[in-house]
Structures are given as structure tokens and as C-alpha cells.
Amino acid sequence: MSLSTIPVAAVLGHPINHSKSPKLHNYWLSLFDIDGHYIPLDIDPRNFENSIRALGGLGFVGANVTIPYKEKILKIADKISDRAAIIGAANTLTFLPDGRIYADNTDGYGFLQNIKSKYKDWSASEGISVVFGAGGASRAILGALLEDGSNEVILANRTRSRADQLRSDFGAKIKVVDWMKVQNYLSDASTVINATSLGMDGQAELPIPLNGLKKNTLVTDIVYTPLKTSFLEHAAKRGCRTVDGLGMLIHQAIPGFERWFGVKPDVSENLRELLISQ
């Protein structure tokens, strides 16, 4: 293979040293013995558009996008997937051969696949979902729940206006309730999701009493540091089915890797351990 045909992808952000994406993609490149590269690129906000536009011509096949560019990238992209448009953010770019930039959002896909890979029979259509949080992660999750057949999602956020905005963007299947009252809806839920940053190392815990949770309810968290958040521990003690957030991070990376490098990777225990080490 000549040097010019070696595929290169990147994660674009500012700063970029927190990103686990290089570890993830380089693990798969080496596992499949693919002659390709995946690098972190710290993009200076002053040159954002020029830098992104230059990448295709430099031989990049694609990129992941992280903080603070996930929303801003939609202003530059030439083609936007429906799910990225409704979420209002993209995390996966493909530099098309004709020079155009295609922006997609795979966070919702990662969210669904993470649950379905552990509980094959689970579907968002099986009952009511309760979602805590109304930030970017929540947007991707609401889109995914509706796509998977959900008919009712109870949404609560500390700042109620952000939840109301999601209701107006996603429609009447979303029902907004007060942050201080959401505990009353847990006993009717078949799925409960923490889409806030609460419970993450160094952050406060979720202030929501969980004693209403029923046995077998599917409970999942976007937080994966720590892997077993106290939210998930409480849920497990109540006999709920629990799914940690690390798998969402891994699954959201799969469509990009497959598009750029031509192989669909799996989630393995070795990879999970690699990502939580350090």
C-alpha cells in the first residue's frame, strides 16, 4: 500500500487530551492489523472552519468531534444526517471523495446498542421511559428512544426550560415533569436513564430518591467514571437490570470506524479494561 492511501482519522476538539477516542480506535486498528492512523487534533477556535475544511484534502477519511465543536460543526458540514439535525450536534464526520463534509450523530445509536447488547429483548417500546437531564446527551437519548418505538418519555431537568425546549423539539411523546417530582414517576417506568453529569467522580450525586424503582426496570447511566455509579448500585440492589455508560462510549465509535476503515469492530472486555485503566 502506498503512503498516500493509508487512511487517517482524528478526533477534533479543544482541548483534546481528555478524549478516549484515540485509545479506542487505535486498539481496533491494531486488533485488525489495519494500516491506518487515528490521532487527536487540538483545533484552535480561531481557525476552526479553515482547519476542518483542509482535512479532506490532507488525506483524512473522517473524524470524531468533541467539546466544544459538536454543535458548531453543523454550520460547516455540507450534508447532515436526520438524526444529527434533530439532535443539533454531530460527533462523526466523513470527508467525502468529492470534498464535501458529511456530519452524523452516533450517540443515540451507541446508547441503544449498549443496552441491546446486554439485554437483547429490551426495547424502548416496552413501556414508559424516565430521563433525567436535558443537555446534549439527553437530546441524543430522546431521539434514540423515539426511534426505537417509545410512546412516552418522562423528562425532568434541574433547569426546567431546557426540558421544555426538548419537548418542543421532539414532540408530544415527551412529557416534562418537575425535577423535584420525578421520583413519583419511577414506579411506572420500564426504563430509567441518568443523562446528567451527576454521580461522576468529583460531582454531586443524583438527589433523586430511588425507592420507587421496580424490580426488572432497565436502569442505565451515561456516567462511566466510576463504572458503577451509586445510581446503578441502588438500582441493582432493588433488582433492576443495570447497564453502565462505558458501552455507550464504545458503541458510538463503531459506525465511524466501520465507515473509515472498512471493518465493523466489536466491544470486548479487553477494550473495556483498556479504557478504564489510567
Residues 207-246 that bind ligand ATR (CB under 6 A): none
Of 54-62, 128-136, 257-265, 270-278, the segment contacting ligand ATR by CB under 6 A is 128-136
Of 90-98, 156-164, 180-188, 259-267, the segment contacting ligand ATR by CB under 6 A is 156-164
Rounded Cα distance, 124 and 110, in Å: 14
Which listed residue (14, 158, 167, 272) binds ligand ATR by CB under 6 A? Answer: 158
In terms of Cα–Cα distance, which of 193, 190, 192, 161 is closest to 178?
161
Is the CB of 87 or the CB of 271 nearer to ligand ATR? 87
70 is catalytic: yes
Q: Residue 48 in contact with residue 20, Cβ under 8 Å? A: no
The b-or-e profile of 38-61 (16+ CB within 10 A means b, else e) is: bebeebeeeebeeebeebbeeebb
Q: Residue 102 in contact with residue 93, Cβ under 8 Å? A: yes
Catalytic residue among 20, 70, 181, 215: 70
Rounded Cα distance, 133 and 160, in Å: 10
Which listed residue (61, 130, 134, 253) binds ligand ATR by CB under 6 A? Answer: 134
154 lines the binding site for ligand ATR (CB under 6 A): no
Q: Residue 80 in contact with residue 90, Cβ under 8 Å? A: yes
Residues 95-124 that bind ligand ATR (CB under 6 A): none
Contacts with ligand ATR, residue ranges (CB under 6 A) = 133-138, 157-159, 162, 196-198, 204
Would you name the residues annotated as active-site residues?
A: 70
